[in-house]
């Protein structure tokens, strides 16, 4: 992911793992980023958080 992000001008600010429990139907945060995770991306030039409405 890092290579793809930097190729379009984004930097990874952090990764947080998430774990789903099918029994409770809930998600929880985890340090395990092997499968499910959330990433914080910022534009390298401006430091603006990347959202769906940010220019590509």
CA atoms 46, 50, 55, 56: torsion sign? positive
From the number of C-beta atoms within 10 Å of its C-beta (0-12, 13-18, 19+), residue 51 rates as: exposed
**Per residue in 5-46, pLDDT tens?**
888 888 888 899 999 999 999 999 999 999 999 999 988 875
Q: Which pLDDT band holds residue 50 (cuts at 50, 70, 90)?
A: low
Find all residues with CB under 8 Å of 50, minimum gap 6, and list them: 10, 41, 42, 43
- The pLDDT value given to residue 48: 60
The model's pTM is 0.59
């Amino acid at each position: 992911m890092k290579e793809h992000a930097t190729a379009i001008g984004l930097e990874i600010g952090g990764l947080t793992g998430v774990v789903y429990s099918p029994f409770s139907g809930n998600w929880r945060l985890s340090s395990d980023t092997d499968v499910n995770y959330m990433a914080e991306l910022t534009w390298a030039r401006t430091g603006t958080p990347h959202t769906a409405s940010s220019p590509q």
